[in-house]
Amino acid sequence: MNKKNFIYKKINKDIKNKKYKKIITRFAPEPNGYLHIGHAKSIFINFEIAKYYNGICNLRFDDTNPSTIKKKYIKCIIKDIKWLGYKLNKNIKYTSNYFNKYYYYALQLIKKNLAYVDELSKKKIKKYRGTLLKKGKNSPFRNRSIKDNIILFNKMKNKYFSEGEVCLRAKINMSSKNIILRDPVLYRIKYLSHIRTKNNWCIYPTYDFAHCIADSIEKVTHSLCTLEFQNNKLLYNWILNNINISHKSNQYEFSRLNISNNLTSKRKINILIKKKIIKNWNDQRLMTLIAMKNRGYTKKSILNFCKCLGISKQESVININIIENFLRKDLNKISPRVMGIINPIKIILTNIKKKNIIYIKNHPYNKKFGKRKINLYKKIYIDKNDLKIKKNKKLNKLKIKLKYSKIIKFKKIKFKKNKKIKYIKFSILKQNKNYKKKYKIIHWISKKDSIKIKFKLFNYLFKKNNINKKKNFLKYINKKSIIKKKGYINKDILNNKNKIFQLEREGYFIKKNKKKIILNQIISLKK
């Protein structure tokens, strides 16, 4: 990654000023869904900074909200980070490890008359908060005595109140220009068992209260997050400046990754699943890491992509072609070649006497992949898209070259009753020295060497380029984003240990072993 961005510059300055002995970053996902390509950017930035400065990057699960977090997400997040190639500390952190400390810091704020227990309903709190144009209004419970607040806060903790009845709020400024500072909620009641602390607690800290303290407990030096938290920074610093904590972390924001024709918000992905537009989080059209793995993305292509993004504060939508090109580049190196036909037309070669045996390389430049034998028989399949049959006249003059083999010349076309092509007869031309210049080269497969197979091809999930900020994003769903085809493939691939292949002139495919093999497209050869 380019080290000239503002974060590296800031860290360099801090090191020069001897501000920190060790650089500590963290990646702090909320385990309420699976990781996506945006998280990969954040993982890349945080872990690479730690690596570069010989520091540490903590994985911390931000598990303060028992209603949304799940163990299965924790497991998968750990797996995905390891898959990307980053080593995790033995000591994985959880925000819930610090629940005792949060309680203690909340009491500190109450004792300093900087927090109070409010009895306003959630709706009223929102109403009293005001807007950008209208100042907020003080809650009638804002001026309770410190003693009463301590008693009430302990009652909150001891299950005296029901959910939503009361909450703890910071006492900052209801007229602040920054709405975040208008007495934000620090603690709320939830009668839910937490996956780690079970029923020990019924009060849970909010993100804003929890995050800055967790960063500081872990002595994080540079807490990096996305731009939407820019306004929260004032609150981040307010909390740290008003509690007694030895290390005070600092937050820095960078722009979120948005990818064209796709979305990454966990909330929106859940809507797609609920509406049955996609089945699951691993649907090959998504950009969650499990979906990308399922599609056939390599970790290298994801890391190379993150590397090229850099860090900035500029909001933008990155064209999906950029990551696809990194994928093509990587797959090109690791994929053996095979012949396969997705839109088959049967061809009969009229003048072939015996089969022609051809030895070809499995990979254009990597000798490790070895060679294979292919046979040209009388009956072959070629792809419909290679024959632009409009008028028979044109077809009459058609001469094409079969890749690695002969030049063939059109003879006759036979149609079925339903007007579809039954077969086309071609004859083999005698070798012409100039064939390279003249003829279109097409891929083919002998009927005898092939098996029938299902292909699944993918298009983008959304028709519009930038749907990240669109509320009505469902309007832009591409209804033709999965295309199923039946075609032919060289039967050798049944016993081939490789899972990923390049279908010559078509693209990269991954073998999915169901009862019958299916070949799923990873990516076409070129856009």
The Cα–Cα gap between 153 and 494 comes to 66
Residue 453's contacts (CB-CB under 8 Å, 6 or more residues apart) are 340, 486, 487, 488, 489, 516, 517, 518, 519
Angle, alpha carbons 388-394-395 (nearest 5°)? 70
264, interface contact from ligand ATP, Mg ion, none, CB < 5-8 Å by kind: ligand ATP
Which positions touch ligand ATP (CB under 6 A)? 28-30, 38-39, 41-42, 225-226, 256-257, 264-267
Shortest separation between residue 79's beta carbon and ligand ATP, angstroms: 16
* 266 is a catalytic site residue: yes
340, interface contact from ligand ATP, Mg ion, none, CB < 5-8 Å by kind: none
The Cα–Cα gap between 42 and 40 comes to 5
256, interface contact from Mg ion, ligand ATP, none, CB < 5-8 Å by kind: ligand ATP
453, interface contact from ligand ATP, Mg ion, none, CB < 5-8 Å by kind: none
Shortest separation between residue 242's beta carbon and ligand ATP, angstroms: 24
Residue 124's contacts (CB-CB under 8 Å, 6 or more residues apart) are none
With contacts defined by CB under 5 A, how many residues of the chain interact with Mg ion?
Answer: 1
Shortest separation between residue 255's beta carbon and ligand ATP, angstroms: 8
DSSP 489: E
Shortest separation between residue 73's beta carbon and ligand ATP, angstroms: 9
* CB-based closest residue to ligand ATP: 38
- Binders of Mg ion among residues 2 to 61 (CB under 5 A) are 30
The Cα–Cα gap between 186 and 139 comes to 15
180, interface contact from ligand ATP, Mg ion, none, CB < 5-8 Å by kind: none
Angle, alpha carbons 166-167-168 (nearest 5°)? 140
The Cα–Cα gap between 91 and 473 comes to 40
Shortest separation between residue 188's beta carbon and Mg ion, angstroms: 16
Q: Is the Cβ of residue 93 or residue 171 nearer to ligand ATP in the bound state?
A: 93
- Cα–chain-centroid distance for residue 141? 45
Q: Is the Cβ of residue 74 or residue 115 nearer to ligand ATP in the bound state?
A: 74
DSSP 477: B
86 contacts 39 by C-beta, under 8 angstroms? no
Q: Is the Cβ of residue 212 or residue 457 nearer to Mg ion in the bound state?
A: 212
424 contacts 412 by C-beta, under 8 angstroms? yes
- Binders of Mg ion among residues 271 to 300 (CB under 5 A) are none
Residue 527's contacts (CB-CB under 8 Å, 6 or more residues apart) are 321, 324
* 527 is a catalytic site residue: no
Q: Is the Cβ of residue 45 or residue 239 nearer to ligand ATP in the bound state?
A: 45
* 515 is a catalytic site residue: no
Residue 12's contacts (CB-CB under 8 Å, 6 or more residues apart) are none
Q: Is the Cβ of residue 301 or residue 468 nearer to ligand ATP in the bound state?
A: 468
Name the catalytic one among 196, 256, 293, 299. 256
Q: Read off φ and ψ for residue 465, nearest 5 degrees.
A: -65, -55
Shortest separation between residue 482's beta carbon and ligand ATP, angstroms: 24
**342 closest CA partner among 373, 383, 380, 313:** 383
Q: Is the Cβ of residue 470 or residue 491 nearer to ligand ATP in the bound state?
A: 470
39, interface contact from Mg ion, ligand ATP, none, CB < 5-8 Å by kind: ligand ATP
Binding site for Mg ion (CB under 5 A): 30
Q: Which residues are catalytic?
A: 30, 256, 266
